[in-house]
Amino acid sequence: MPPVRVRLWQSEWDDGQPELNQQRALAAIRSSAGQADLLVLPETCLQGFATPADIATLAIPVASPCVAAMRQAAREAQVSVVFGFAEAEDGRYFNSAVLVDERGDILLKYRKTHLYKSDHGVFEAGTSYPVCAWHGLRVGLLICLDIEFPEPARALAMQGAELIVVADGNMDFSAPLHRQVIPVRALESQVHVVMANRVGRGRDYTFGGQSLAADPFGRCIGEASAHQAQQLDVLVDRQATTMARAELDYLQIARTTAPGVARVIDAH
């Protein structure tokens, strides 16, 4: 099978400006028609980062005109897309991301489980790590801080994920950390990990770019600039996880429970 074409869309987004951000996101989808199988946009890209003061105004349900427009654009461009947004559900708010396929169907929704300090008082934490089938691969989603911990990526891998997509919103002072840990997450679970980050100045932070992709051998297969908007195109080999595990399958020998060690992996 041919490799999957993944486009990591690193650009500037405006906090608290949903109309402007949606137009940028729709333009990114349209421009990727025929160029990518999967387009990845950053964390909360549709609204930017919310605060306790504006979350009720900015957050949207999955069944909203904004998400519907993203789904229609994906269908028209025949491109699958992952994008982050501030989700509202029954008076509760989540830092969420969805995978929409080229038919405009939502295959996967994930809610950020590891909240950064600026998320507290704005969002509730998610509680699960779902995966889905997409283009011959099992796919899972993570958001920003999640990737700094081994457990979320391992939970996805234990459910069969071969590709982990990270919608990132990482600041300039910690972007180098994600550059370090993403190849490690890929290696230790023998999966592809791809990440799209913001760049430029936001309301409270400057974002550090360095969107990145790593293969199941822990090798960096693409990296974007730390300071400039950039569309990074990488190829994901659908057989790479099988090849990486053929010699030594880490998931088969990893001791997720051991004497004196609490179980830390709970995928459900």
Average pLDDT of the segment spanning 211-219? 97
65 is in which domain, residue-wise? 4-253
Is 264 contained in some domain? no
Query: In which band, very low, low, confident or very high, does the pLDDT at 268 lie, cut at 50, 70 and 90?
Result: very low
Measured distance CA(212)–CA(186) in Å, rounded: 11
Is 113 contained in some domain? yes
Give catalytic status of residue 66 as yes or no: no
From 144, 148, 162, 223, the catalytic residue? 144
Average pLDDT of the segment spanning 58-87? 98
Is 261 contained in some domain? no
Average pLDDT of the segment spanning 136-162? 96
* Cα-Cα-Cα-Cα dihedral sign, residues 150, 151, 155, 156: negative
Query: In which band, very low, low, confident or very high, does the pLDDT at 113 lie, cut at 50, 70 and 90?
Result: very high
Please indicate, yes or no, whether the overall pTM of this predicted structure exceeds 0.85.
yes
pLDDT for res 240: 94
CATH code where residue 226 lies = 3.60.110.10
Average pLDDT of the segment spanning 6-14? 97
Measured distance CA(95)–CA(114) in Å, rounded: 10
Q: How many domains does the chain have?
A: 1
Is 27 contained in some domain? yes
Is 57 contained in some domain? yes
Per residue in 168-204, pLDDT (tens digit) is: 999 999 888 999 999 999 999 999 999 999 999 989 8
Q: pLDDT over 70 for what percent of the chain?
A: 95
pLDDT for res 255: 76
From 45, 87, 112, 148, the catalytic residue? 112
The full 3-state SS of 150-218, as one line of letters, equals HHHHHHHHHCCCCEEEEECCCECCCHHHHHHHHHHHHHHHCCEEEEECCEEECCCCEEECCCEEECCCC
Is 259 contained in some domain? no
Give catalytic status of residue 43 as yes or no: yes
Is 248 contained in some domain? yes
60 contacts 21 by C-beta, under 8 angstroms = no
Measured distance CA(99)–CA(97) in Å, rounded: 7
Give catalytic status of residue 45 as yes or no: no
199 contacts 228 by C-beta, under 8 angstroms = yes
Measured distance CA(17)–CA(26) in Å, rounded: 14
Average pLDDT of the segment spanning 16-42? 98
